[in-house]
Amino acid sequence: MEESEMDHIGDAQPDLHQALLDASKKHSTLTVMFHQHVAKVLGLNITDHKCLDYVLGMEKVTAGQLADMTGLTTGAITSVLNRLEKAGFVRRVKDADDRRIVYVEPVYANLGPVFELFGRMAEDMLDLFARYRPEELSVILDYLERSNQVMARQTERLRDAWTTAGKHRGHDSGEER
């Protein structure tokens, strides 16, 4: 961002900041509820659904990688993968070069319901994007990417604090690290 563009950043009104915080909170809640309902339609729980999202995004992933990304234990991830495999959404495949490594990959032939649900969402979002000029969309994209960075940092902060406090207090449930 150029210096002239940055000049106005600190000038935003406190009311606008509060409105942005409120809208962000509402968006977060609506997003969680949407994904909860998607999971229900797919016969999954929300954790399974979001783990499937990781698998789809990476094409193939190990249980250990999923555990690291989610903060769940490898035991909990094994249960998630068992349910996703039973639903037919993923399969486990041994690495051709090192048979000790097992990857989880999507079974695209069975993912039609997932793509149908999100295809409708994509259509609505594309209609929304059409309301904005490319420059405005670039600002929105910048905001979303930066928001994702904030969310990732805050999630890591909470995960670290919980791990330290939870183990110290004896609250390690085995479900999350």
Q: Which residues of 72-89 are buried (b: 16+ CB within 10 A; e: fewer)?
A: bbeebbeebbebbeebeb
Alpha-carbon 87 to chain mean position: 20
Q: Is 101 helix (H, G, I), strand (E, B) or coil?
A: coil
For residue 45, the domain's CATH number is 1.10.10.10
Same domain assignment for residues 118 and 159: no
Same domain assignment for residues 40 and 94: yes
What are the φ/ψ torsions at residue 154 (nearest 5 degrees)? -70, -35
Same domain assignment for residues 44 and 67: yes
The pLDDT tens digits of the residues spanning 23-63 come to: 999 999 999 999 999 999 999 999 999 999 999 999 899 99
Q: Specify if 2 maps to a domain.
A: no
- What pLDDT is recorded for position 160? 84
- What pLDDT is recorded for position 176? 43
The pLDDT tens digits of the residues spanning 91-142 come to: 999 999 998 899 999 999 999 999 999 999 999 999 999 999 999 999 999 9
Same domain assignment for residues 138 and 66: no
Same domain assignment for residues 88 and 154: no
Alpha-carbon 58 to chain mean position: 12
Same domain assignment for residues 32 and 99: yes
- State the pTM of this model: 0.78
Same domain assignment for residues 114 and 92: yes
Same domain assignment for residues 118 and 143: no
Is the pLDDT at 1 greater than 70, yes or no?
A: no
- What pLDDT is recorded for position 173? 46
Q: Which residues span the domain enclosing 156?
A: 132-168
Q: Specify if 163 maps to a domain.
A: yes
> What are the Cα distances from residue 144, in Å, to 20, 66, 139?
13, 23, 9
Q: Is 118 helix (H, G, I), strand (E, B) or coil?
A: helix
Residue whose C-alpha is closest to residue 59's, from 124, 103, 3, 118: 103
- Tokens 């090192």 -> residue: 98
Tally the domains of the chain. Answer: 2
Q: Specify if 177 maps to a domain.
A: no
* Dist CA 80 CA 58 (whole Å): 17
